[in-house]
Structures are given as structure tokens and as C-alpha cells.
Amino acid sequence: MRLHVLGSGAGGGFPQWNCNCPNCDGLRRGTIKARARTQSSITVSGDNENWVLFNASPDILTQFQHFPELQPARALRDTAVKAIVLIDGQIDHTTGLYMLREHRQPHQIWSTAPVRQDLTEGNPLFKLLGHYCGIEWNELGIDDTEFTIAGAPGLKFRAHALRSNAPPYSPRRDKPVPGDNVGVTIEDAKSGKKIYYAPGLVEIEPQVWAAMQAADVVLVDGTCWSDDEMIALGASKKRSRDMGHLAQSGPGGMIEWLDKLPTTTRKILIHINNTNPILNEDSPQRRELDAHGIEVSYDGMDITL
């Protein structure tokens, strides 16, 4: 099983186009040690030939260009992407579907029912695609039932609901329901190796913790370092938790939870906001992560199990 990180940043990417926080300004000026990041998306394959795309970010075209495996060039119009799994309905995870409208057949899309509702009514992306390639929707269960995806041999999947928040455009914003956000376990059918993926996560509930403990690699929410990060910078009036993200630092934070995992578990943060000081590779926050054996994902990161 191979997982490739197409994009590791949160909404807006890094640097964000209109942001002059110390990170964004420092990256532009070359005064900090950091690397640019596009918006969060991964792709996974069980045979290094057929791929499942997780989320379609606004940066999807650039991400495809940087990962040529997704364009095998076997025909005039071709792609190695067999299906698209949407973790949620957030703008930074779905806008890329507009860029994939030239497909020659309907996209095979997996999402929960609440996400389908949001992308049909609140943000009618699915309706728009109906005027181009169309979609074939598959319901993503939220009870950890094992399933497979047609065209993606060698992989098994399980998904469960988790606490985060519905998109800002959703009528359920700040009133989330089960299925607005999911975590997914991806398993290599031959080796039994597992990756747990949850880029939006505000609470480590029992089903989340069980999946994290069972995984060989956890790829989880790394949006903010501290709960008041955006407020302290004057970038927002909302805490990280209000936006549906568990901060890394502080009591009950992501670091504390990741420390409880077995030493053999590979621990990686993804969906990193442009304000997060861990983006500065020389920051004390980054050194703290290093001390805890926690990695920070980057665009192009490749994981083989």
C-alpha cells in the first residue's frame, strides 16, 4: 500500500494569498525555514497503478502535475484515479471537483449522506457536475463496516463519524450531525497494515482512539498549535475548537493523545494552517514535535507500508 500526500495545508494553503502572519510573510521574504503547502488531499493505491483520491482541493491541478502517477497516459483522455472519497464537505476538500469536470464518465464519489446534501443544496457542486461528466454517488457508512472500492484492488476501508464541524455554508454549521465529518482506516488487504486518516478532528472519541491504536500510521488533524492561535494573531475571533479542530498543545491536545500510542506507530500531522508555528522548521514548537516523535506532513510526502 502506498499513500502520497498531494497537499498538506489547511484552507488557503501556505502562504495564504492575503495573509501576512509571521509564517506567510516569513516564507515570502525567505526569513524563515519553511516550505510552501497546497491544500489538504491525499491519494492511496494498493497496486501502484489504480488510485483512490481523498478530497479534491482547490489546488488539485497543480497537485496532479506534481504526481505523474495519476496521469498514466494510456489513452487520449486518461486518469489513474478510480474513485474520490470526501471526508467532509469543506470548501478546501471539494472545490477541486470543479477542475475535474472534463472526465469522460461519471466520477465515482464516496461521501456520507449529510455531505451529499450539502453538496447538492447548500453548495450545489454535484448538480453542476451533472451538466458535465456527472457523478455516481456511493454512500460512505459511518459505523466502521468494512467496504471495498471498485477499481482499487488490494485495499479495504472503514469509516466512522467523528466530531468536528459542518462547513460554514451548511445549515448545520455549529450544529453538526453524525456524518458531517469522518475518519477513515485504509488497510492493505495482503499485509493487514493500516493507515488512519482524519484531517478534521476536534475530539478523540472512543471509536477514533480505537482506530488510532490499531493503525500503523496515523495521519491526523494538525490545523492549529494552540486553541487561541487565530485569536492571538488577530486573524479570527474563533478558537481552533470552534472551527472543528483539536489543537496540538495544552492539556488534552493532540500531542498528549499521540504520546499514548505505541512507540511503533508513525504519527503525522496534516491539514496545517498557515498560522501554525510548526510550519517554521526552526521554531520551538517544531522542536517539541520532534522530541515527541511527531512528523509534520508536506506536499509530496510518500508513505509505503
In this predicted model, what pLDDT tens digit does every residue of 186-208 receive, in sequence order?
999 999 999 999 999 999 999 99
Mean pLDDT (whole number) for 105-131: 95
Q: What pTM value is reported for the model?
A: 0.96
State the SS3 of 219-261. EEECCCCCCCHHHHHCCCCCCCHHHCCCCCCCCCCHHHHHCCC
**At 97, is the pLDDT very low, low, confident or very high (cuts 50, 70, 90)?**
very high
Choose among 278, 288, 248: nearest CA to 8. Answer: 278
Distances (CA, A) of 220 to 4, 123, 248, 251, 252: 15, 26, 11, 18, 15
In this predicted model, what pLDDT tens digit does every residue of 129-169 receive, in sequence order?
999 999 999 999 999 999 999 999 999 999 999 988 899 99
Choose among 128, 127, 149: nearest CA to 45. Answer: 149
CB 221 within 8 A of CB 212: no
Task: Give the pLDDT confidence score for residue 165 in this predicted structure.
Answer: 87
**Cβ neighbours of 245 (radius 10 Å):** 25
**At 180, is the pLDDT very low, low, confident or very high (cuts 50, 70, 90)?**
very high
Collapsed DSSP state (helix, strand, coil) of residue 83: strand
**Which residue is it, cell 453538496?**
119
**At 104, is the pLDDT very low, low, confident or very high (cuts 50, 70, 90)?**
confident
**At 101, is the pLDDT very low, low, confident or very high (cuts 50, 70, 90)?**
very high
Judged against a pLDDT cut of 90, whether residue 285 lies above it is answered with yes
**At 119, is the pLDDT very low, low, confident or very high (cuts 50, 70, 90)?**
very high
Q: Which amino acid is at 62?
A: T
**Cβ neighbours of 55 (radius 10 Å):** 27
Choose among 175, 174, 146, 176: nearest CA to 160. Answer: 146
CB 219 within 8 A of CB 197: yes
Task: Give the pLDDT confidence score for residue 164 in this predicted structure.
Answer: 85
Judged against a pLDDT cut of 90, whether residue 225 lies above it is answered with yes
In this predicted model, what pLDDT tens digit does every residue of 11-65 receive, in sequence order?
999 999 999 999 999 999 999 999 999 999 999 999 999 999 999 999 999 999 9
CB 51 within 8 A of CB 57: no
Collapsed DSSP state (helix, strand, coil) of residue 131: coil
In this predicted model, what pLDDT tens digit does every residue of 238-278 receive, in sequence order?
999 999 999 999 999 999 999 999 999 999 999 999 999 99
